[in-house]
Amino acid sequence: MKDVTPRERWEVWMHQAQRFADRENYIDALGRARMVLREVSETLEAGELDEKQAQRLQRFAARVERRMKGYRKSFEVWNAKIAARRAASIAAAEQEMARPLPIGPDERY
């Protein structure tokens, strides 16, 4: 098996985060992106990089942060839709309770 560089591993994790978000699993998407951002930040703080590599990693970290903002925004929209459906269901509960229960197959005769 080929050893992967940290950058390749981070790219895989960001792809996984996007796949989580595509399936509306925003909590896991944010967690995966947060892992990437933490490791990138630790690498930058170590100071073992030359100027060009550090700039590249800073741009990558900025990209991760933008994606995280997008995931949070999508999560908030998704969560608001669920809250609206829940509120509509609660509001319609009285009408639903007023309807008669359906008759089962063995209760017809």
In the chain, the domains with their CATH numbers are 6-96 (1.20.58)
Is residue 22 helix, strand or coil?
A: helix
Of the pLDDT bands very low, low, confident and very high (cuts 50, 70, 90), residue 1 is low
What's the whole-model pTM score? 0.75
Q: Which helix (H) or strand (E) holds 84?
A: helix 51-91
Task: List pLDDT tens digits, range 66-88.
Answer: 999 999 999 999 999 999 999 99
Q: What is the mean pLDDT of residues 41-59?
A: 90
SS3 2: coil
